[in-house]
A = this chain, B = another copy of it.
């Protein structure tokens, strides 16, 4: 686990030579996991594939880092969702950041750093128009999978556009030390809010205090999250950023002030099977609450404004993050499974070059 914080004036570097490749390895879905259980390593296979030179309009990209994310669990089942399911025998996909090593596309040059949805593989050819160039001089490349990528944008959109957080308000955040949650906490502090963050374990709690969280709830040491939230916010909360559902959501409903807002971003507790019922939703009437689910892909138009603001914060040392990095494509399934056991701390990544 690494603690990442840029010093003002520091320039990120990543020494990968830009050499054309002849082959790649990729992780495929071998079988669908049991819908009510955790996936296992047997659900995945690692395969080598030949990599021809890129065609007209294409570039060849060597991935530097790939992301593993909880939402990928849903795509392993064959059911309708907001992203299509993975297909058996096909490579998985997801966010990745890589270096252009050959280019037949005018808009990208060898050495450029690009963001793609072609993770779970070491290298690939793709149309240049499907890739998004990022500034590798401004931030380390893996930042574009974390604080300056989809997790960061998720935090930003949920806090600024959905919750509309205001200075002086009290915000509750679950999974507060995670890839999304830690950005939520730090941006909320920048915006002048009081932040109550919940995470499991002493190390995560210490990190939350270091990044300025005002009250930390260690849910692994607390038999009753609702009581703990009441102690942390005797006057109630104005806003809740929900990454987990379950007991945390019930606690937020109980301690919401009248007219509080709740942004529903994730319910990881329910991803591997039966979901427990939320028992106190009638609080939403009594206290006129607004609960709103959102998905980051509806908000890609906010990306440029977000990256500008986030880059400035990171370069000023005002936003830091934790990341857990496994090395090599063969470790990718294992890295993914860590998301559901809480072994990761901060953004979970696989370093591919």
Contact = CB atoms under 8 A, between A and B. Distances in A.
A285 B298 CA distance: 12
Interface string A235-277: 0000000000100010000000010000011110010000111
Contact of A266 (B283, B285, B289): B285
B293 A289 contact: yes
Contacts of A276: 277, 279
A270 B278 CA distance: 13
Contact of A291 (B265, B277, B291): B291
A76 B277 CA distance: 27
Copies of this subunit: 2
Nearest to A279: B277
Contacts of A81: 286
Nearest to A289: B293
Q: Is chain A's binding surface mostly helix, strand, loop or mixed?
A: loop
Given A277-B277, A278-B278, A280-B275, A267 B285 contact: yes
Nearest to A275: B279
A157 to B, nearest CB: 12
Contacts of A287: 82, 293
A290 B292 contact: yes
Contacts of A267: 281-282, 285
B293 A285 contact: yes
Contacts of A283: 293
A282 B245 contact: yes
Interface of A: 81-82, 245, 249, 258, 264-267, 270, 275-295, 298
Which 6 residue pairs across A and B have the least CB separation, nearest first? A277-B277, A284-B293, A285-B293, A291-B291, A267-B282, A277-B279
